[in-house]
Amino acid sequence: MKHLLFFFFFVGIHSWAQAVDLHVWQFSIDEEQARPLVAQFEKKYPHIKIHMQQLSWDFGNDKIITSLISGNAPDVFEIGSTWGPHFSQSGVLKEITEETQPYRDHYLMWEPVTVQSKIYGFPWLVGTRFLFYNKTLFQKAGLDPNHPPKTWAELVTAAQKIKALAPDTYGYGIAVAEEFAPWQTFIPYLWNSGGDVLSKDWKTIALNSQAARQTLAFYQTLKPTALLNRQEQIDQLFAAGKVGMMLSGAWNFKSIQKTNSKLEYAVSTVPVPQLSQSSTSFGGGEMLVILNKTKYPKEAFEFVRFLTSYDVELLLSRTQRNVLPSLKTALKDPFFRQDSKMKGFAEQMLTAKAPPAHVGWIKMEKVLSSLIDRVMLQNESIPQALEATSLELSHILNQVQSKGTISDQSLTVWILALLFVLVGGLWFLRDRKKPLGEASTWILVLPWVGLFFVFSLYPLLYSLVISFSEYNVLTSHFSFTGFLNYFLILKDPEFLKAVGHTLFFAAGTVPFTLVISLGLAALIHQGVPWKSLFQAGFFLPVVTSIIVIATLFTFFYSENGFLNFILTTLGLPKPNPAWLINHHWALVSIMAMAVWSSSGYYLILFLAALQSVPSSLYEASRLDGANGFQQFFKITLPQLKPMILFVVVINTINSLQVFPEIFTMTKGGPARSTTTIVYYLYEKGFSEFQMGSASAVAYLLAILMCIFAYVQMKVLREKS
């Protein structure tokens, strides 16, 4: 007994004396708001030091995944509910079934972090989709602004009346052509009509049902009155008072307040087919999870509890107004009774449900979103679209899991062995008559090559090894599969489509960029007034990062964006739906932007090359009476041949790797019409966690590039 007491005493002292560093990564609290909260927690637990970092939504998950693979992940981090099942089953998260036992009944949304009744995370800030409607438009259309539509029939009638008001006013907004919003705003209707995507036991696909046909038919009757666009655009036009109704989320409260605070609108629950039914909606949210390998599980849970406490959740919900507390009692706080909009939001939250916590869901949701695109944008018939979608979904459902695991140490051994064999083989086979090279040569070469070997060759070989295996980065499940990845990818119709899109992209951008940049460079070189102004002016598009440029162009190409504005002003036709959400035009639009943003760069390369063309050549030809065009074809082109070859090769390589534009502007949509090879690769690696397949795609792409570079060099060299 005495020993035991001593033991506890020591353990107590130990854990008290040891300073605990807790690393926390999250998306939801900005740094200014986080500071006082962290201070409050640290005051209560002086031995714990919180290192909190806010992640950006762009690539935030990739950062978490990368750090998990390399064993450098934070103790506590935030994941979206869609990622819940994947992370929960991977073994990287700490199971907290027992710890959360007392809280289970008091909080909402446990489903995404539950695997076979074990709990792997704590629901934090939650949200749902509900009906927004514009009171002013309701009044104008002769509808009762205090009586939102409760049934599908009422919704359709209201939408028609509002649409009849003006040509640029829409009755309802239907989200299309992106990853998440289309299915998230569709599935509430599907659920309300009794349909679902998976069967109860998740063993089969239940989508192809009477309920789904009925729901899609309802969507079709809405179509003539509806604005078909991406959610962000619908939200903006709703805020501008042009859209009568939409299903959307609570982020609108803040943005409407900011952009058009005079808008008279209200919220209500999702309409149902018949009045007697209760209305459910799509629910989701942010989960706090604890790393399995954390050194301080107790403290980590303590911090999770702090962030999910009544006060903190309520504070975040009140200040951000786009999320709700997951704590049910906090949802009933007087605050939610005072504010009619937050009240409607909270009401819908209580009946909201999460999508199935199936690992395949992350792929299924994209397929589900493209079902909406098929029916609404491409006018496929409902039975046909449902059939095709169900087939795709069941493929995902039937995918097999691999076995065995690997650590990155043993991978390193594999890679070093491979390197040893490669170098040894080459050494053995080398031409022994050739000298090694002078010492001064190696002084020139070694600094660069040394660094290059460490930082480029290792990653290169790493992905080569990985590409011959099935490697799930989250679970570290690993097994060598030979050429299986390559084989499967070459058979995948999605990949072949991606190759098609990529080749189309390169074929469209490379010649245009070449002609524009070379032409402009030659014109500038011939001598114009304000030469440096032109040089700088054409270069400017290159200056800003492609992510910002792509964000800007997303607006530029939108329904009410500048391009359509110009076309309307000039009386020219414009595509419907607008550029980026139109599967005929989306890729072309991105290509046009790529030409615009990269021409200035190649122009500078040509200008630099033109400096080394002796001006005596031009003078001589001028004396011979050659005009500008003749000079260009007789002197400039032949002299620039090496640079033209260089630009074509580099530009082809860059075009075949097109990614940030796609990622920012279309996420591969609509209906996967802008999925390029690297975007396909990114999806394989970072949303399906199949790093092996992703690496195989990279090597296939490299082979494709080599072929291109080889052909280009042959063709362009022979001409000279």
Partner 1 sequence: MKKLFLFGILFCGLLVSLFPLYLMFTTSLKPEGSLLTSMNELWPKQWTLKNYWDVWMSGPFGRYFLNSLGVAFVITVGNVFLALMVAYAFVRRTFVGKKLFFGTILLTMMMPAQIVMVPTFIVMKHFGWLNTYWALVVPSLVLPFNVFLLIQYLKSLPISLEEAARLDGASPFQILFKIVMPLTKPALAVVGINTFLGAWNTFLYPFLLTNTTEMRTLPVGLALYKGVHGVDWVHLMAGSCLAAGPVILVFLVFQKLIIAGLTAGAVKE
Residue 7 makes CB contacts below 8 A (sequence gap 6+) with: none
Our measurement of the distance from residue 638's CA atom to the centroid of its chain's CA atoms, rounded to an integer in Å, reads 44
Q: Any contact of residue 562 with partner 1 (CB under 8 A)?
A: yes
Which phi and psi (to 5°) does residue 615 adopt?
-70, -20
CA distance 101 to 3: 32
* 415 to 444: interface string for partner 1, x by CB under 8 A: -----------x---x---xxxxx-xxx-x
Q: Any contact of residue 526 with partner 1 (CB under 8 A)?
A: yes
Q: Which residues pair with 23 in a beta bridge?
A: 51
Q: Any contact of residue 698 with partner 1 (CB under 8 A)?
A: yes
Choose which of 59, 103, 335, 480 interacts with partner 1 (CB under 8 A).
Answer: 59
Q: Any contact of residue 276 with partner 1 (CB under 8 A)?
A: no
Q: In the complex, what is the shortest distance from the CB of residue 582 to partner 1, in angstroms, rounded to a whole number?
A: 20
- Residues recorded for the chain: 720
Q: Any contact of residue 62 with partner 1 (CB under 8 A)?
A: yes
CA distance 279 to 275: 9
Reduced to 3 states, what is the DSSP secondary structure of residue 693? Answer: helix
Q: Which is nearer to partner 1, 6 or 565 (CB)?
A: 565
Structure tokens of 225? 């009155």
The residues in 539-558 that bind partner 1, with binding defined as CB under 8 A, are 539-549, 551-553, 555-556
* E-assigned strand segments in 556-653: none
Reduced to 3 states, what is the DSSP secondary structure of residue 574? Answer: coil
Q: Any contact of residue 615 with partner 1 (CB under 8 A)?
A: yes
Q: In the complex, what is the shortest distance from the CB of residue 180 to partner 1, in angstroms, rounded to a whole number?
A: 9
Of 117-125, 159-167, 255-263, 383-391: span binding partner 1 (CB under 8 A): 255-263
Q: Which is nearer to partner 1, 367 or 700 (CB)?
A: 700
Choose which of 116, 276, 532, 576 interacts with partner 1 (CB under 8 A).
Answer: 532
Which residue shows structure tokens 């390559």?
486
Q: Which is nearer to partner 1, 116 or 629 (CB)?
A: 629
Of 344-352, 358-366, 576-584, 596-604: span binding partner 1 (CB under 8 A): 596-604
Q: Any contact of residue 499 with partner 1 (CB under 8 A)?
A: no
Q: Any contact of residue 667 with partner 1 (CB under 8 A)?
A: no
Of 26-34, 154-162, 276-284, 578-586: span binding partner 1 (CB under 8 A): 26-34
Question: Are 470 and 478 spatial neighbours (Cβ–Cβ below 8 Å)?
Answer: yes
Q: Any contact of residue 626 with partner 1 (CB under 8 A)?
A: no
Q: Which long-range contacts (CB under 8 A, 24 or more apart) does 500-506 make?
A: 501/587, 501/673, 501/674, 501/675, 501/676, 502/655, 502/656, 502/658, 502/676, 502/677, 502/678, 504/587, 505/587, 505/590, 505/591, 505/594, 505/655, 505/656, 505/658, 505/676, 506/652, 506/655, 506/656, 506/708
CA distance 248 to 615: 64
The residues in 333-352 that bind partner 1, with binding defined as CB under 8 A, are none
Q: Which is nearer to partner 1, 10 or 452 (CB)?
A: 452
Please report the sign of the dihedral spanned by the C-alpha atoms of residue 654, residue 660, residue 662, residue 667. Answer: positive
Choose which of 20, 22, 26, 27 interacts with partner 1 (CB under 8 A).
Answer: 27
Phi-psi region of 479 (alpha: psi -120 to 50; beta: other; left: phi over 0): beta
Which phi and psi (to 5°) does residue 358 adopt?
-95, 140
Q: Which is nearer to partner 1, 117 or 615 (CB)?
A: 615
Of 24-32, 192-200, 265-273, 297-305: span binding partner 1 (CB under 8 A): 24-32
Q: Which is nearer to partner 1, 88 or 554 (CB)?
A: 554
- Number of residues near partner 1 (by CB under 8 A): 131
Neighbours of 76 (CB within 10 A): 26
Q: In the complex, what is the shortest distance from the CB of residue 174 to partner 1, in angstroms, rounded to a whole number?
A: 17
The residues in 441-470 that bind partner 1, with binding defined as CB under 8 A, are 441-442, 444-445, 447-449, 451-452, 454-460, 462-463
DSSP H/E element including 266 = strand 265-268
Q: Any contact of residue 629 with partner 1 (CB under 8 A)?
A: no
Q: Any contact of residue 657 with partner 1 (CB under 8 A)?
A: yes
Q: In the complex, what is the shortest distance from the CB of residue 659 to partner 1, in angstroms, rounded to a whole number?
A: 7
Q: In the complex, what is the shortest distance from the CB of residue 593 to partner 1, in angstroms, rounded to a whole number?
A: 9
Neighbours of 140 (CB within 10 A): 16
Of 152-160, 250-258, 334-342, 346-354: span binding partner 1 (CB under 8 A): 250-258
